[in-house]
Amino acid sequence: MKNIINSTVWLLSLCLLASCGGGGSENNTAPIPDDKETIIAPAEPIENEHLSGGEASIKKIQSDAFSENSNNMVSVDRKKTFNLGDDFFNNPWVEGSASTSSRDGLGGLFNNNACQDCHIRDGRGHAPVDENDIDFDSILFRTATANIGFEDEDLILQSLKGNVPDQFFGGQLQQHGISGVSPEVSLGVSYQNKVVTFTDGTSVTLRDPTWTITSFNPEQSFGADTVFSARVAPPMIGLGLLALISEADILIKEDINDTDADGISGKANYVWSVNNQEVALGRFGWKAGQPSILEQSAGAFVNDMGLTNRLHQQETCTQEQSECLAAPNGNGDSVNNYDFEVSDPILDAIAFYSSHLAVPERRNAYSEQVLIGKALFKEAGCQECHTESYTTLIDQDQPELSAQTIFPYTDMLLHDMGEDLADFTPENEPASADMLYEFLATATEWRTPPLWGLGLTKTVDPQATFLHDGRANTIMEAVLWHGGEAENAKNKVLAFNQEEREALLAFLNDL
């Protein structure tokens, strides 16, 4: 078994090699081909840009890379809270009224029974592999109706209401029910190939999904004007840092009417804060429909798992869903009475945990190829929406996340991404770009997702796929699906040659 020692030595030397990357702007990567004409100059390296999440970043490159707490967290009490959140994020919730009284109350209807089973190892979920795959465990579907009255539209425009959901099914479709409760829907997908060709003739085959959303109850069908929105579970890292980007820094990039005529608007979503009972800037979720991590967590508990909590004390069953309404609750635990299922310490610990999942350090931020890729990223105009860097605000309650220079690559704003990525009708037609889907976000608008951690996505879960509905198997596929305001940037990428594409991917994979 000598090979064991050998491989350990080999690993060690690999580590040494890898660690050279962090030192400076030395050329230490694969040689750049001679054909320099087509490659632009490397971007100027920025001090500590390998620390994507500032001092909270962690040095992890394995499948647990998204599962660690902020690296600069020293307080044991805070680590205890993180661990408590971790326990309840990982372990399954069960039907009420179980003897495990802090962990019961799942359903009646639910998408999954543990946070972790959608946010796999705290990372991204995925769309099914093909039409034979019935794994819809880390993707879910929302509903909203297109033909709404003036009054509702007014409420939505004032950010007092998110949308008008399908009347029978409610705002989120659950494909699971606890025993005695029928699920709402069964789900399927098929993919059609769509070939995209680069200027140099290389082509990439994209998969274009056709979703099949079937009412479980044959007597009940969707409203004729119901529009669906597919949502894959997003990665959990760096959320607490995004929460501390100042509103001014976000709003300064807003350009709703594209007055600078660069083809890119950028719109802030304003949403109703259940916690503060006021309108607030939306930051989280695929359409920035939630103002805070606490509210995102509380919403996920009630919508994804059927678990009531202090912010949502009613199950999401609609009036007609009698089985769901009759499902046993899991209120309280064995020593405390409270009129909902997730106790306050658990909800707060989940929010704390979700705020402190650390962003991994970049591995090769200063290598020439990566810096060339970064220059190409900017050349194509990607950074117009994927804003590189911010300094976070100071929050006395979050010292680890305060005043950090971070590199998330998002402007936190909504952008029209085109018809191909739009929310869709029961016939799988794109919904109108004018349709308000979630507060101010229309059916074609999506919040620019942060790119940090992108290169470790498949390390954390090899099944993970990209974009809001998981249609993209690779990062390049995701790039090529960009449309609408990102059409120009995508076209520039389509003109990149092989070396340039490799450099761009080297950069994105290093994030």
Considering only 31-39, 90-98, 248-256, 317-325, which stretch makes contact with another protein by CB under 8 A?
90-98
Instruction: Please count the other Cβ atoms lying within 10 Å of the Cβ belonging to residue 384.
Output: 21
In the list 15, 30, 134, 495, the residue contacting another protein (rule: CB under 8 A) is: 15
- Number of residues assigned to the chain: 511
The yes or no reply on residue 71 touching another protein (CB under 8 A) is no
The yes or no reply on residue 92 touching another protein (CB under 8 A) is yes
Using alpha carbons, list the distances in angstroms from residue 428 to 191, 206, 212, 329, 425: 12, 17, 8, 36, 5
Q: Which helix (H) or strand (E) holds 177?
A: strand 176-177
Nearer to another protein, 116 or 442 (CB): 116
The yes or no reply on residue 88 touching another protein (CB under 8 A) is yes
Size of the site for another protein (CB under 8 A): 51
What is the contact mask toward another protein in residues 144 to 183, using x (rule: CB under 8 A)?
--------------------------------x-xx----
Neighbouring residues of 322: CB distance < 8 A, sequence distance ≥ 6: none
Q: What is the largest CA-CA distance in the chain?
A: 76
Instruction: Please count the other Cβ atoms lying within 10 Å of the Cβ belonging to residue 231.
Output: 21
**127-161 as b/e: b if 16+ CB within 10 A:** bbeeeeeeebbbbbbbbbbbebeeebeebbeebeb
The yes or no reply on residue 52 touching another protein (CB under 8 A) is no
Per the rule left: phi > 0, alpha: psi between -120 and 50, beta: everything else, 95 is beta
Which residues inside 354-413 make contact with another protein, applying CB under 8 A? none
What is the contact mask toward another protein in residues 179 to 198, using x (rule: CB under 8 A)?
x-------------------
Considering only 79-87, 315-323, 398-406, 428-436, which stretch makes contact with another protein by CB under 8 A?
79-87
The yes or no reply on residue 279 touching another protein (CB under 8 A) is no
Long-range contacts: 36-41, Cβ < 8 Å, 24+?
38/497, 38/499, 38/500, 39/372, 39/499, 39/500, 39/503, 40/372, 40/375, 40/376, 40/379, 41/372, 41/375
In the list 55, 87, 323, 499, the residue contacting another protein (rule: CB under 8 A) is: 87
Q: Which helix (H) or strand (E) holds 142?
A: strand 139-145
The yes or no reply on residue 57 touching another protein (CB under 8 A) is no
Q: What is the DSSP letter of 419?
A: G
In the list 5, 195, 248, 261, the residue contacting another protein (rule: CB under 8 A) is: 5
Q: Answer yes or no: are the C-beta atoms of 353 and 371 closer than 8 Å.
A: no
What is the contact mask toward another protein in residues 105 to 144, using x (rule: CB under 8 A)?
-x------x--x----x-----------------------
The yes or no reply on residue 325 touching another protein (CB under 8 A) is no
Q: Answer yes or no: are the C-beta atoms of 307 and 341 closer than 8 Å.
A: yes
Q: How far is the CB of 68 from another protein (least distance, A)?
A: 10
CA angle 212, 215, 219 (to 5 degrees): 140
The yes or no reply on residue 63 touching another protein (CB under 8 A) is yes
Considering only 4-12, 20-28, 400-408, 503-511, which stretch makes contact with another protein by CB under 8 A?
4-12
The yes or no reply on residue 310 touching another protein (CB under 8 A) is no
The yes or no reply on residue 19 touching another protein (CB under 8 A) is no
In the list 32, 46, 84, 279, the residue contacting another protein (rule: CB under 8 A) is: 84
Q: How far is the CB of 353 from another protein (least distance, A)?
A: 11
The yes or no reply on residue 95 touching another protein (CB under 8 A) is yes
Nearer to another protein, 79 or 378 (CB): 79
HSE, CB side, 13 Å, CA atoms: give it for residue 420.
Answer: 19
What is the contact mask toward another protein in residues 330 to 349, using x (rule: CB under 8 A)?
---xxxx------x-xx--x
User: What's phi and psi for 153, nearest 5 deg?
Assistant: -60, -40
The yes or no reply on residue 297 touching another protein (CB under 8 A) is no
Short-list 184, 187, 190, 175, CA closest to 213 = 187
The yes or no reply on residue 466 touching another protein (CB under 8 A) is no
The yes or no reply on residue 211 touching another protein (CB under 8 A) is no
How far apart (Å, rounded) are the C-alpha atoms in residues 71 and 241? 13
What is the contact mask toward another protein in residues 469 to 508, using x (rule: CB under 8 A)?
----------------------------------------
How far apart (Å, rounded) are the C-alpha atoms in residues 326 and 107? 11
Which residues inside 412-451 make contact with another protein, applying CB under 8 A? none
Q: How far is the CB of 338 from another protein (least distance, A)?
A: 12
CA angle 142, 148, 150 (to 5 degrees): 140
Q: What is the DSSP letter of 431?
A: P
Nearer to another protein, 92 or 209 (CB): 92
Per the rule left: phi > 0, alpha: psi between -120 and 50, beta: everything else, 472 is beta
Tokens for 290, please give them: 């939630």
Considering only 60-68, 128-136, 236-244, 419-427, which stretch makes contact with another protein by CB under 8 A?
60-68
Nearer to another protein, 26 or 135 (CB): 135
Neighbouring residues of 60: CB distance < 8 A, sequence distance ≥ 6: 68, 360
Neighbouring residues of 435: CB distance < 8 A, sequence distance ≥ 6: 144, 146, 227, 423, 442, 443
Q: How far is the CB of 103 from another protein (least distance, A)?
A: 6
Site of interaction with another protein (CB under 8 A) = 1, 3-5, 7-8, 11-12, 15, 60-64, 67, 76, 79-81, 83-84, 86-88, 90-92, 94-95, 98-104, 106, 113, 116, 121, 176, 178-179, 333-336, 343, 345-346, 349
